[in-house]
Amino acid sequence: MDVIVGGGVVGLSIAWRLARSGRRVTVVDPAPGTGASYAAAGMLAPVSEVAFTEEPLLRLGVASLARWRAFAAELTADAGLAGGGVAEFAELDLRAEGTLDVAFGADDLAALDELAAFMEKLGLQVERLTGRECRRLEPMLAPSVRGGLLAPHDAWVDPRRVTRALLAALDRLGVPLVRSRVTSLLRDGDRVTGVHLSPAAAEAERLPAERVILAAGAWSRELADVPVRPVKGQIMRLRGPQPLLTRCVRGMVHGTSVYLVPRGDGELVVGATQEELGFDTRVTAGGLYELLRDARELVPGVTELEVGDVVAGLRPGTPDNLPLIGPSGVEGLTLATGHHRGGVLLAPLTAAILQGEEGELAALCSPGRFRDIS
Ligand code: GLY
């Protein structure tokens, strides 16, 4: 049996795919779906999130995005949600209208030109737009937007709906979910043989496993010596009577990147700060001020919206921004962590890699690239 430590989108996706293929699995998490997956905006945006130094990450993202449509359709069916036609995606709010990256000044425009050239060199479809063309696509954009770059195949999904669907699918497959904290890994010599559960749990305190899959995001390093650190992101959800935007919009404002993700029900997600503050999940006045200030520069109408919720999540960052997926080097311990800004996007690919697929991409994520995992 596999024990999966962590009930976020990554851990639950792995559990669902393994259970579906007939493997016995148990998920352990004191509060599934309340960590980084609850905070995440759900951008499936490998193209617009790419940085020049991140070509391997881009390859992972493009491959995982290609899996998302089938993943969503099967999840919708397995979770017992309404299916058929476009409605099957409405259950997860999966949308694929692309991302529009906008620019205000000459420097921003030059950066978009360079990014467009880089994307085209990699064979990715992007379109350079004038300010007027941007506003034709998104009339609520600020008049000061001077140009943009459209990544037409970028998509997004509602991670809270995805988590709920995964939990429902696991329940229907009879997968046990232990709502308890893992305090440490059970070891027999050099081998991991299961997990110790919090003594307060009603369940047995030791859960043996043939394989432990560590998918605990930023908390993974509390259980194993993995190079994962928390990267704080504050994010807010605003609400209005109807959507202000039809696609994801992002831009650089005051030197920081801000993104706006519209949901079908009028919700607009504004994210996200990027702070290196350890395990700090306080929502701060400064964080919210910066998000709203920058969002208003892109779309002035955001100030009319009602504030829904505001949360801070912890992304699991790694030294090279690539995830750690695969055997850890310690017998009995497999890793599925370190997804940093891309956990929701990379969940289908992560599950596929752990089922032995995608050998070439799996090599990019191999934990073996870091020594000393124990
Ligand atoms: N993927 C967006 C973020 O981490 O803020």
Handedness of CA 240, 162, 153, 290 (dihedral sign): positive
Q: How far apart are CA 277 and CA 256, in angstroms?
A: 17
Please report the pLDDT score of residue 140 as a whole number.
Answer: 97
**CA-CA distances (angstroms) from residue 64 to 61, 71, 105, 190?**
5, 10, 33, 34
pLDDT band at 201 (very low <50, low <70, confident <90, very high): low
| Pick from 238, 197, 232: nearest CA to 218 | 232
List beta partners, residue 258.
Answer: 251
Please report the pLDDT score of residue 242 as a whole number.
Answer: 86
Phi and psi, residue 201, nearest 5°: -70, 145
Minimum-distance ligand 1 atom for the alpha carbon of 344: 1
Please report the pLDDT score of residue 202 as a whole number.
Answer: 57
User: What distance in angstroms lies between residue 209's CA and the mean position of ligand 1's atoms?
Assistant: 33
**345 φ/ψ sector (left φ>0, alpha ψ -120 to 50, else beta):** alpha
Minimum CA distance residue for ligand 1 atom 5: 272
CA terminus-to-terminus distance, the chain: 21
Q: CATH classification of 99-152+229-317 is 3.30.360.10, yes or no?
A: no
Please report the pLDDT score of residue 99 as a whole number.
Answer: 94
More confident residue, 366 or 372: 366
Minimum CA distance residue for ligand 1 atom 3: 341
pLDDT exceeds 60 at position 84:
no
Beta strands in 157-265 (DSSP E): 177-178, 182-188, 191-197, 206-208, 211-214, 229-239, 248-253, 256-262
60-81 mean pLDDT: 94
Other C-beta atoms lying within 10 Å of the C-beta of residue 109: 18
Please report the pLDDT score of residue 88 as a whole number.
Answer: 45
Pocket test for ligand 1, best of 101, 157, 315, 339 (most atoms within 8 A of CB): 315
Minimum CA distance residue for ligand 1 atom 1: 341
- As to burial, measured by CB atoms within 10 angstroms (0-12 exposed, 13-18 middle, 19+ buried), residue 168 is middle
187-202 mean pLDDT: 87
User: What distance in angstroms lies between residue 42's CA and the mean position of ligand 1's atoms?
Assistant: 8
Please report the pLDDT score of residue 89 as a whole number.
Answer: 58
User: What distance in angstroms lies between residue 317's CA and the mean position of ligand 1's atoms?
Assistant: 11
| Pick from 155, 334, 342, 362: nearest CA to 262 | 155
Minimum-distance ligand 1 atom for the alpha carbon of 342: 1
Minimum-distance ligand 1 atom for the alpha carbon of 49: 1
Q: How far apart are CA 207 and CA 1, in angstroms?
A: 10
Q: How far apart are CA 132 and CA 49, in angstroms?
A: 24
Minimum-distance ligand 1 atom for the alpha carbon of 233: 5
pLDDT exceeds 90 at position 198:
no
User: What distance in angstroms lies between residue 49's CA and the mean position of ligand 1's atoms?
Assistant: 8
List beta partners, residue 260.
Answer: 249, 270
Domains 2-45+56-76+159-228+319-369 and 99-152+229-317 share a fold: no
Pocket test for ligand 1, best of 9, 10, 37, 43 (most atoms within 8 A of CB): 43
User: Measuring from each residue's beta carbon to the nearest atom of ligand 1, which residues come in under 6 Å?
Assistant: 41, 43, 233, 271-272, 315, 341
- pLDDT tens-digit series, residues 311-348: 999 999 999 999 999 999 999 999 999 999 999 999 99
List beta partners, residue 196.
Answer: 184, 206
pLDDT band at 132 (very low <50, low <70, confident <90, very high): very high
- pLDDT tens-digit series, residues 94-121: 999 999 999 988 888 888 898 898 888 8
Alpha carbon 221 to its chain centroid, in Å, reads 19
351 near 323, Cβ under 8 Å? no
47 near 99, Cβ under 8 Å? yes
Minimum CA distance residue for ligand 1 atom 2: 341
- pLDDT tens-digit series, residues 213-272: 999 999 999 999 999 999 999 999 999 988 899 999 999 887 788 999 999 889 999 999
Minimum-distance ligand 1 atom for the alpha carbon of 345: 1
Tell me the fold of 2-45+56-76+159-228+319-369. Answer: FAD/NAD(P)-binding domain (3.50.50)
User: What distance in angstroms lies between residue 182's CA and the mean position of ligand 1's atoms?
Assistant: 27
- pLDDT tens-digit series, residues 271-300: 999 999 999 999 999 999 999 999 999 999
Please report the pLDDT score of residue 356 as a whole number.
Answer: 96
Mean pLDDT taken over the chain: 93
Minimum-distance ligand 1 atom for the alpha carbon of 341: 4
**34 φ/ψ sector (left φ>0, alpha ψ -120 to 50, else beta):** alpha
Q: List the domain boundaries for the chain.
A: 2-45+56-76+159-228+319-369, 99-152+229-317
User: What distance in angstroms lies between residue 342's CA and the mean position of ligand 1's atoms?
Assistant: 7
pLDDT exceeds 90 at position 155:
yes
210 near 1, Cβ under 8 Å? yes
pLDDT exceeds 60 at position 63:
yes
Pocket test for ligand 1, best of 341, 345, 346 (most atoms within 8 A of CB): 341
Pocket test for ligand 1, best of 101, 258, 259 (most atoms within 8 A of CB): 259
Q: How far apart are CA 49 and CA 341, in angstroms?
A: 9
Whether the upstream peptide bond of residue 272 has omega within 30° of 0, thus cis, is yes
Other C-beta atoms lying within 10 Å of the C-beta of residue 102: 29
Minimum CA distance residue for ligand 1 atom 4: 341
Token pair of 102 as six digits:
């906008």
Three-state DSSP at 49 gives coil
